[in-house]
Structure 1
Amino acid sequence: MTDFEDITYEIDGAAGIITINRPERYNAFRGKTVEELIKAFRSAWADSRVSAIILTGAGEKAFCTGGDVKQRAETGDYGPTESGMFEIGYLHKLIRDIPKPVIAAVNGVAVGGGHVLHVLCDLTIASENARFGQAGPKVGSFDAGFGSAFLARVVGEKRAREIWYLCRQYDAATAERWGLVNWVVPQDKLLDEAKAVAAEIAEKSPTAIKFLKQSFNADTDHQAGLSNLAMSALDLFGKSDEGLEGAKAFAEKRPADFAKYVKA
C-alpha cells in the first residue's frame, strides 16, 4: 500500500476507506492532500476487491473544511505538489467518473471545498454532530462549477443560493430534510454504517451499478465544462487583492473588508 502523509487508505471487506488525515487543520486540504486523494481513488478504482469507496475525515470535529486557507494566506497558494498543479478540479471529476459508488461519511463539519466533496459523492451518511455549509465568499473563494451548479440539482436553486450567499451552517437534521444527506446516525455508529452500506452494494451486480452511475451522471456531465471555467476563474481571483483579503482576514481572525470591491 502506498505511504501517504495527508490521508490514509485501507481496504476493509468490500470497502476502500479513504480518510483525510489532517485533524490539526480540521482536515482542510492542501495541494499534497488532493494529490494523495487522487492516488487513493485511482487505486480503489483498479482494485477488484473494492465495490464501494468511503470518504471520511480523521477525528470527530471535521469531515473536511475545504482548501487550507491558512496555507493560502501564508504562501498565496496551496503548497507544492509532485505535478506542480493544484488538481482539485480533477479530483471532483474522478469522484464522479470512478465506476463504483462513493459514500461520504460526514463526521463533524463539512464546509467550503469539503462541502463540495460530500455533495459530489453518490451517497452521504451524516453523524448527528455533522454540520454543513459554505464559506467561500467569506474567505475570498467560490466554486462556480459542480460546487454550485450540481448543488442546485441536489437541493434546488433557492436552497443552493441560500447556502452560498449566506454562508450559514446547517445541522444534520436540516441537511437530511433538504435532501443534502441520505440519513443520519449516531456519531459512534457512522463508520460502521458506511461499511454496512458498502457491503450491501457489494451484493449487487458491479456492471449494473457502473452503468447506473454513468446514467445518473450523464444528465450533469456538461457541468464539467463549467467546472473547468470556474477553476480557471478561481485561480485568477485567488491571487487578486479581493481574494487575498478574504484569506488574510481568516488567518488573522478578523472580519474581511470587502466594501471597497463593490462595483456597479
Structure 2
Amino acid sequence: MTQKFEDILYEVRGRAAWIIINRPKLYNAFRAQTIEEMISAFKLAADDRNVASVVLTGAGDKAFCTGGDQSAHEGQYDGRGIVGLPIDELQSFIRDIPKPVIARINGFAIGGGNVFATLCDLSIMSDTAKLGQVGPKVGSVDAGWGTALLARHVGDKKAREIWYLNLQYTAEEALEMGLVNKVVPADKLDEAVDEWTEIIGQRSPTAIALAKRSFNADSDNIRGISMLALNAVKLFYDTEESKEGVRAFTEKRAPDFHAFVK
C-alpha cells in the first residue's frame, strides 16, 4: 500500500506504517505542507487496523529532520496554526496515536527534528547520526514538549545544556543520556527497525494502546504548557530579536540578538 504525497512518503511494510520526510536536499527540513502531509499520514496509520506501529524517519542518509525550513518563511512560517504551522496537531498525533511510534534516526535530528525524536515512543539511531538543538541560536524555541518532555528523558541539567548551548551530540552520547533506546551501524539501521516492528506486530494492540496511554498520562500536563508556549512563541516570532536569527541564518553570519533587546 502506497499513498502519494509531495513532501513525504507513506508506506506500509508488514504491520508497520513508514512516514518518511522526503526533502533530502533540504536535510528533511519541514514547511507547512510537510506538516499537513505528516498529519494526514498519521491519520492513515491510526485508522488502519493492520498497522501495529509507525516508523518516522527522513529520506537519504544525511538527515532525520532538521526542523523548520528557513527558506519557506521570513520570521514567520507559512500555513495555518498558531505559529503558521499546525505543529501542535502533529505533536499530538505522535503522542496520542494508540500505536508505538519509532524514530528511525538516520542522520541529523536537529531543532524541530530533535523534538519529533523526543516525542516518539522509541528511538533507534545510526552510529553516524547526531542530535541537537538550535533554537536560541536562530531566535526560536520549542518551550513545551521540546523542553519539558526532553527533561523527562535526559534529566533537567542535561536538557538545559542542550537548549542553552546548542551543541551536537553523537549517537553514543545520545544513548548514554537516555535520549535514544538503541544505536546500530548505519547499514544495520533498517534491520534493527524491522526487528522491533515485527515484535510489536505480534503483541496485543489493545494492551499496547493502554500501556501508551498510561505512560502518556504521567506527562500529559506538558500539553497545556506546550499550548501556552506556542502562543508566547508566536508573539516572539513577531519581534526583531527573533527575526534577526532568521536573517543571520540566511545571510550566513553570526546574529546580534542583543541589539534588539529593549
Shared fold (TM-score, shorter chain, > 0.5): yes
Q: In 2, Cα distance between the equivalents of 1:176 and 1:217?
A: 22
The 5 A counterparts of 1:119-134 are 119-134=118-133
User: 8 Å contact 2:3–2:11 — kept in the other structure?
Assistant: no
Tell me what 1:180 maps to: 179
SS at match of 2:104: strand
Shift of residue 71, structure 1, vs aligned partner: 1.9
Spell out the pairing of 1:15-164 with structure 2 (5 A cutoff): 15-73=16-74, 76-80=75-79, 86-164=85-163
Aligned length: 261
How far is 1:174 from its partner? 0.3
- The CA distance in 2 between the partners of 1:167 and 1:159, in whole Å, is 11
Structure 1's 166 and 85: CA in aligned 2 closer, same or farther, altered over 3 A? Answer: closer
Is the partner of 1:48 in helix, strand or coil? Answer: coil
Q: CA deviation at 1:259?
A: 1.9
Structure-2 separation of matches of 1:126 and 1:22: 19
After TM superposition, give the deviation of residue 24 of structure 1 in Å: 1.0
Once residues 235 and 26 of structure 1 are traced to their aligned partners in structure 2, the CA distance between those partners, rounded to angstroms, is: 25
Tell me the distance in 1 between the aligned counterparts of 2:227 and 2:101: 22
**Structure 2: runs of 5+ lacking an equivalent:** none
- Structure 1 gaps of 5+ residues are none
Q: Which residue of 1 aligns with 2:169?
A: 170
The separation in 1 between residues aligned to 2:189 and 2:117, in whole angstroms, is 15
Contact 2:16 2:54 in 1 (8 A): yes
Identity, in percent, stands at 54
8 Å CA contact 1:38–1:91 kept in 2: the answer is yes
Q: C-alpha distance in 2, partners of 1:105/1:2?
A: 20
Question: RMSD over aligned Cα, in angstroms?
Answer: 1.7
Moved over 3 A (4+): none
- Aligned match of 1:259: 258
The alpha-carbon deviation at position 85 of structure 1 amounts to 5.1
Shift of 1:49: 1.2
Shift of 1:81: 6.0
| Shift in alpha-carbon separation, 1:48–1:180, aligned structure 2, 3 A | same
What secondary structure sits across from 2:116 in the alignment?
A: helix
Shift of 1:6: 0.4
* 1:120-150: CA deviation from partner (whole Å, max 9, x where unpaired): 0000000011100100101110011000000
Q: CA deviation at 1:2?
A: 3.7
Cα drift, residue 3 of structure 1: 2.1
